[in-house]
Amino acid sequence: MHDLAPSPPTRPVVAVLAVVIREGAVLLVQRANPPDAGLWGFPGGKVDLGETLLAAAARELFEETGVTAVADGVITALDAHDRTDTGVLRHHFVLVAVRCVWQHGTPLAADDALDAKWVEIKDMEATLVLSRDVAAVARQAAAMA
């Protein structure tokens, strides 16, 4: 039996990013899995069938960090393309950044996160290697707060 090359995606996958700003800091996780393994970004993941964007953001936040928050609105949407070294599209995600208001909990990495912590927005680019658009979305969310 021989391996067949995976079929290219036919549609994007919708996923959420839970953006939590608290006292000048943003809650970030270090990704354990590709794409962006090792990089820092927002907790998040795929939206389940029948699940609202806000419910998905609150669920993913809790699953990855143990933090409880109220998701209260969409900040922005981004395209994320994952390509092979030769440029073949493996995945296309539409990432919907959702503003979440912290309720309680101390970040503890779980699910597919290696680490989770509060990071001062003003220091995040100097202290961590971030996934694309994380700094811009965090500043946008902070301006909305």
pLDDT tens digit string along 107-144?
999 988 999 999 999 999 999 999 999 999 999 999 99
Cα–Cα distance measured from residue 97 to residue 131, given in angstroms and rounded to the nearest whole number: 14
**pLDDT one-digit tens code per residue, 66-101:** 999 999 999 999 999 988 899 999 889 999 999 999
Please state the domain extents for the chain. Answer: 21-144
Query: Residue 111 has what pLDDT?
Result: 80
Q: Give domain 21-144's CATH architecture.
A: Alpha-Beta Complex (3.90)
